[in-house]
Amino acid sequence: MAGARPTVRIVAWDGSHNAFGRAHTLADIAARFATPSLVAPLFGIGGPGLWPPLAGQVGHPLRLLPGRPLAPFLAGLARDVADAGPVDVVHVSKPRLPSLLLGMMTALAHGARLIIDVDDDELAFVGGNEPLTWDEAVAESGVHAGASWPHDRVWTCFAPTLVPLADAVTVANVALLERLGGTLIRHARDETRQPPDLAQRLATRRGLGLRGDDVVLAFVGTPRAHKGLGDVVAALDRAGDPRLVLVVAGDIRDAATATALRARRGRVQLLPDQPFSRVADLVAMADAVPLLQRPEFRVSVAQIPAKLTDAMAARVPVLATEVPPLRDIHAAGALVPVTGEGALDAALAKLLGDRQAFAGTVQRAGELFAREFSLAANADCLAAVYRGPIHADRRQAMREVLLRIHRHAGVAPPGWLGR
């Protein structure tokens, strides 16, 4: 790759829901120094097509594959990998079996460097406690009705055992860095895009029917129970101030969150999924962004939602609980801590008294964004990862895993993989 822009294929495990967002961010970072493309199967978990916020807005070449049960998915992989053509690097976004199969097949077929990116605890989403060995996964697949699909719980619990086969690992936050090692690649955003000015902010607020004296909290993303929206609604109810309003922009698929929001007494405005191009405007019109990751949920101890970076880039204060993935950002003084009884109420009272109450925090967040959360800052780190070596000793283990999976599914492997 020396002297030329490397070609990079970034693989998402499903293009139909928000998992595609991290893959797209990696492509945005890579575009600063490489020629990226995206590939994703569509299993329809989030709907029939591409994840709505990015539908029609993907700024990189994109190849969508049919999401199928394991056997036909495997049967089509060799052709899919060949049709996509050679690349220097394949970067797997999230260690789920569909993306790992695509990534490993690409690495072996084209001699590409294999990078695996981890930005969540995937087992937490499927109720898994520990990764499954191959024998355990095969045993469970025999009694688990959904195991004919590569994104099923059984294969999701097996997939983390394949991460050591990568040539390198990237992670999205310090909690995952401590757990897995690798290189920290943030949920980055474009530093060349100027935050919306005051006139744009006011226009966005008027378009939502908000009043001039409203104190607006904006949640733009995927509402789920672990993100603490119920806690925000309860705080609004306790405050009892008609100026406080929570704007939630994102389809609600979580029953507990839906119940909490619909049982509200305070002002809550619900919007459907929004185009990615509108996220900056919706975040910038807010007086604060609530990021109340609840520590009792396993997801919260491994995840940083991308809306944190959106808020930092827009110079909007973030009200955040103190969970492990945010530890370094809290230490930098770039977040408003709201852990503990009464902390959120106190923060809202400050905002009601003075919308600029957290100006110092916002300034530190803006400086941290420029240093660590911009596309430019992360591009330097990612370029170094892509320049690293291919570990030949891991290729044979990768080949053996793929052959084992083909045999289990009853699918003949391509000739170049062996028998």
Walk along the chain (419 residues) and give the pLDDT tens digit of each residue: 556 899 999 999 999 989 999 999 999 999 999 999 999 999 998 888 999 999 999 999 999 999 999 999 999 999 999 999 999 999 999 999 999 999 999 999 999 999 999 999 999 999 888 999 999 999 999 888 788 999 999 999 999 999 999 999 999 999 999 999 999 999 999 999 988 998 999 999 999 999 989 999 999 988 877 788 889 989 999 999 999 999 999 888 777 777 777 766 568 888 988 998 999 999 999 999 999 998 888 888 899 988 999 999 999 999 999 999 999 999 999 999 999 889 999 999 999 999 999 999 999 999 999 999 999 999 999 999 999 999 999 999 999 999 999 999 999 999 999 86
pTM for the structure as a whole: 0.94
Could you tell me if 224 and 252 are in contact, meaning their C-beta atoms sit under 8 angstroms apart? no
Question: Which pLDDT score, from 0 to 100, does residue 2 have?
Answer: 54
Could you tell me if 108 and 398 are in contact, meaning their C-beta atoms sit under 8 angstroms apart? yes
Selected from 3.40.50.1100, 3.90.280.10, 3.40.50.2000, 3.10.20.740, the CATH number assigned to the domain covering 198-372 reads 3.40.50.2000
Q: How far is CA 285 from the centre of its chain?
A: 23
Return the CATH class of domain 7-188+377-417: alpha beta
Question: Which pLDDT score, from 0 to 100, does residue 363 have?
Answer: 98
Residue 331 exposure: Cα atoms within 13 Å on the Cβ side? 7
Q: How far is CA 248 from the centre of its chain?
A: 18
Question: Backbone phi, then psi, for 152, in 5-degree steps?
Answer: -65, 160
Q: How far is CA 365 from the centre of its chain?
A: 20
Contacts of 359 (CB under 8 A, 6+ apart): none
DSSP category for residue 226 = G
Of the candidates 417, 412, 410, the one whose C-alpha atom is nearest the C-alpha of residue 395 is 417
Q: Rounded to whole angstroms, how far apart are CA atoms 255 and 311?
A: 26
Question: Which pLDDT score, from 0 to 100, does residue 254 have?
Answer: 74
Q: Which residue in this structure is represented by tokens 């809306």?
A: 307
Of the candidates 248, 259, 194, the one whose C-alpha atom is nearest the C-alpha of residue 222 is 248
Which segments of the chain belong to CATH 3.40.50.2000? 7-188+377-417, 198-372
Question: Which pLDDT score, from 0 to 100, does residue 419 have?
Answer: 65
Of the candidates 236, 239, 300, the one whose C-alpha atom is nearest the C-alpha of residue 269 is 236
Question: Which pLDDT score, from 0 to 100, does residue 341 have?
Answer: 87
Sheet containing 62-66: which strands, arranged edge to edge? Answer: 62-66, 35-42, 7-12, 89-93, 113-118, 168-171, 183-184
